[in-house]
Amino acid sequence: MNGRRLQFGVAVIDNKLYVVGGRDGLKTSNTVECFNPATKVWSIMPPMSTHRHGLGVAVLEGPMYAIGGHDGWSYLNTVERWDPQARQWNYVASMSTPRSTVGVAALNSKLYAVGGRDGSSCLKSMECFDPHTNKWSMCASMSKRRGGVGVATYNGFLYAVGGHDAPASNHCSRLSDCVERYDPKTDNWTTVAPLSVPRDAVGVCCLGDRLYAVGGYDGQTYLSTVESYDAQTNEWTEDVSLNIGRAGASVVVIKLP
């Protein structure tokens, strides 16, 4: 990629990887780059209208969404949508709450924005976006406040994994091993088996029949460890580690030919 990036968002469209926003040091970016795994080539895409780090990114029914984050001055509730055909970004309805280090995932034709930080505290609230009405609605809240939360959909549920419950400047800030599962049919959260270690800024994704938690920060170390969750047994199992400890890494699955 061009330069170093922290707190960016990623998504996959047509088996290509999009890296959206982020920051390099103190400079927050609006740039978008696309990586083609078949040719191993990066290309520069049209930038977002707003500079964002700590944003959430997801694809829903074709378009890609860039949600919330921080522009270097303030916490954002704005949302932009990338149209792959027109190759342009447009604003859609804003969230009710500004959210940075927010977890975002698509489930059942809706987008979910989970937790994050609003500038004064970490959030336990969640809201969902319906692209057909261009409206955000509040959903049931998690049991715990979570910034830096990892979010993924798995077996028809949404999972919120790890995170922290207060900004690092707060001496009472705790990192979380707690995992919660959201059922969209009942609008209800359930606590499931915890991670083996607390993981803040953890990468989460589903591959095959398991949910993976990759890297993160445990309060002392940038973790290289990886664990996977089996919903049948409600157990986390240690998996093959990364070569390098990483916090704030984004994890996606790309099906190669």
Q: Which of 162, 165, 154 is nearest to 225 (CA)?
A: 162
* Average pLDDT value for the chain: 95
Domain residue limits at 176? 9-239
- Written as one string, the DSSP assignment of 71-136 is -SSSB---EEEEETTTTEEEEEPPPSS--BS-EEEEETTEEEEE--B-SSSB---EEEEETTTTEE
Read off the CATH number of the domain in which 87 is found. 2.120.10.80
Residue 75 domain-assigned?
Answer: yes
* pLDDT at residue 1 tops 90: no
How confident is residue 26, by pLDDT bands cut at 50, 70 and 90?
A: confident
Residue 17 domain-assigned?
Answer: yes
Q: How many domains does the chain have?
A: 1
In the block, tokens 């990066």 appear at 42
Which pLDDT does position 205 carry in this prediction? 96
Residue 49 domain-assigned?
Answer: yes
Residue 26 domain-assigned?
Answer: yes
Taking residue 35's Cβ as centre, other Cβ atoms within 10 Å add up to 17
Give the C-alpha separation, 61 to 164, whole Å.
31
C-alpha 28, offset from chain centre: 17
Global pTM reads 0.95
Residue 255 domain-assigned?
Answer: no
Residue 179 domain-assigned?
Answer: yes
* pLDDT at residue 90 tops 80: yes
For residue 197, give both structure tokens: 């270690």
* pLDDT at residue 243 tops 90: yes
Residue 1 domain-assigned?
Answer: no
